[in-house]
Amino acid sequence: QVQLVESGGGSVQAGGSLSLSCVASGAAFGSACIAWFRQTSEKEREGVAAIYSGGDSSYYADSVKGRFTISQDNTKTTVYLQMNSLKPEDTAMYYCALELYCDDDVWSRPGHFGYWGQGTQVTVSS
């Protein structure tokens, strides 16, 4: 049973930084795509960033390019999301998700991913 556990959320003032972690367990991943999504009560779940170890590729939403960086450790079971220059509009529940594959067409689609974590809250105050 695949499990994803997020950590690192919290509250920060605008302009600050936070680093989120997502640890995947429960299966042997030769390669996998792990993505970060976020959701608020007013907006649908949206893709923030993704990293695919099979193609050594990473993807970002336009709204976070240049501010967020996604990376993974050497075991490829932990994915990090470094968030800099945070804005109040970045406030959301952040979820990590896993699927065996992703590309530029599907990485931001919540329906593509079969495994999800419980989420971690990020709050950015102005």
- At 118 the pLDDT is 97
- At 13 the pLDDT is 98
Strand partners, 49: 36, 60
Distance of CA 75 to the CA centre of its chain: 17
Pick from 114, 60, 67, 108: nearest CA to 87: 67
- At 15 the pLDDT is 98
Number of Cα atoms under 13 Å in the Cβ half of residue 114: 7
**Full pLDDT tens readout for the chain, 126 residues:** 899 999 999 999 999 999 999 999 987 667 899 999 999 999 999 999 999 987 789 999 999 999 999 999 988 889 999 999 999 999 999 999 999 999 999 999 999 999 999 999 999 999
